[in-house]
Amino acid sequence: MSSNRGVFLSDNSLPFKRSLFIPTWSSDTRLDGKTAIVTGGNAGIGKETVKDLASRGARVILACRDMAKGEQAACDVMREVKGAKVVTRQLDLADTKSICQFAENIYNTEKALHYLINNAGVAVCPFARTVDGIEMQFGVNHLGHFFLTFLLLDLLKHSAPSRVINLSSAAHLFGKIHFDDLKGEKDYHHFRAYAQSKLANVLFTRELAKRTEGITAYSVDPGFVNTDILRYIRRPLLDVVKNFGFLIRTPAEGAYTTIYCTVTPENQLVTGGYYRSAAESSNAGQDDGTALKLWAVSCHLLGIRWR
pLDDT in tens for each of the 307 residues of the chain?
Answer: 333 323 333 343 444 345 566 677 899 999 999 999 999 999 999 999 999 999 999 999 999 999 999 999 999 999 999 999 999 999 999 999 999 999 999 999 999 999 999 999 998 889 999 999 999 999 999 999 999 999 999 999 999 999 999 999 888 888 999 999 988 888 898 889 999 999 999 999 999 999 999 999 999 999 876 555 455 555 555 555 555 555 677 889 899 999 999 999 999 999 999 998 776 765 657 889 999 999 999 999 999 999 8
pLDDT value at residue 142: 98
pLDDT value at residue 183: 81
pLDDT value at residue 76: 98
Q: Which residues, including other chains, have CB under 8 Å from residue 302's CB and lie 6 or more apart? A: 96, 143, 146, 147, 150
- Domain 32-228+252-302 - what CATH class? alpha beta
**Closest C-alpha among 232, 138, 120, 122 to residue 185:** 138
pLDDT value at residue 12: 38
pLDDT value at residue 285: 76
Domain boundary assignment for the chain: 32-228+252-302
Q: Does residue 216 sit in helix, strand or coil? A: strand
pLDDT value at residue 248: 74
pLDDT value at residue 8: 33
DSSP designation for 40: T
**Residue 104: exposure state from Cβ atoms within 10 A (0-12, 13-18, ≥19):** exposed
Q: Catalytic residue among 115, 194, 218, 256, which?
A: 194
Instruction: Give the integer Cα–Cα distance in Å for 276 and 258.
Output: 9
pLDDT value at residue 16: 39
Q: Does residue 275 sit in helix, strand or coil? A: strand
pLDDT value at residue 232: 56
- Residues 232, 123 contacting (CB under 8 angstroms): yes
- Residues 48, 251 contacting (CB under 8 angstroms): yes
Instruction: Give the integer Cα–Cα distance in Å for 100 and 92.
Output: 10
Q: Which residues, including other chains, have CB under 8 Å from residue 127's CB and lie 6 or more apart? A: 135, 136, 184, 188, 190
pLDDT value at residue 21: 62
Instruction: Give the integer Cα–Cα distance in Å for 51 and 74.
Output: 9
Buried b (16+ CB within 10 A) or exposed e, 12-27: eebeeeebebeeeeee
Task: Give the CA angle between residues 168, 213, 51 to the nearest 5°.
Answer: 45
How many Cβ atoms sit within 10 Å of the Cβ of residue 28?
6
Q: Is 232 annotated in the active site?
A: no
pLDDT value at residue 17: 45
Identify residue 146 by its one-letter amino acid code: F
Helix ranges, the chain (H):
44-55, 67-80, 96-109, 136-137, 145-158, 190-211, 237-243, 251-254, 256-263, 288-302
Buried b (16+ CB within 10 A) or exposed e, 70-94: bbebbebbeeebeebbbebbebbbb
